[in-house]
Amino acid sequence: MQRTINVQNIYSILTNGENETIEFKRTIHNITILGKIISAFANANGGNIIIGYDEQYKKIIGISETEQQKIKSFIERLNIQNLCTVYSFAIEDKTLLIIEVQKADDILQLYNGQAYIRMSDTSTRLMNTTDIKKYYASMPATTANVDALVNQITSIYDLLIEQKNASETAERKNFFLNLGFCILSAIIGYLLGVFF
């Protein structure tokens, strides 16, 4: 994937501000936000995340090597290297990290089982049913696309079953925990009645 942001064009990009395909982050405190933004860009028209820039104060603040490694490891765990190119470059004695996200052409890019989309007002939101229908309606009906859709439906189904089983396990734990507290309360009540 070609690197579209470099030392020659970075100042004009920073000056123009965020838009449908550009997102600025000072740092990434909550890594789940990054997963949502990547999903949103991939499900829209692609985009670039520039980390180490403070848009409010119009200042390059940079990003540490530790933060860069954390972000790169996160993207590797998501297994989306085919959609993302991650690189950094030095400017004003600071380092900016760039994540270029390609548009996903065959299936929705999910993060934690949910699909996000980038809006023209620079917001990122969870896709609704209309968004998903529109996304798949825009795809050509090829065998590869149908196969990709079937695989995605299967993985979503598997995720729902896993969540359902986890929920049932939690409910059983809560039932027995509550039952234990009831029994303990009854015993304490009995002992208090006997001795007092």
pTM: predicted TM-score of the whole model, two decimal places = 0.75
The CA–CA distances, whole Å, from 120 to 22, 37, 123, 171, 175 equal: 11, 14, 7, 41, 47
Q: Which of 4-8, 110-114, 141-145 has the lowest mean pLDDT?
A: 141-145
pLDDT tens, position by position, 86-132? 999 999 999 999 999 999 877 889 898 888 999 988 899 999 888 88
pLDDT tier at 43, thresholds 50, 70, 90: very high
User: DSSP labels for 96-144?
Assistant: EEEEEEPPPSSS--EETTEEEEE-TTS-EEE--HHHHHHHHHTS---HH
For the chain, what are the domain ranges? 10-137, 140-196
Give 81's Cβ-side CA count (13 Å radius).
6
Say which CATH topology domain 10-137 has: 3.30.950
pLDDT tens, position by position, 71-96? 999 999 998 888 999 999 999 999 99
What pLDDT, on the 0 to 100 scale, is given for residue 166? 80
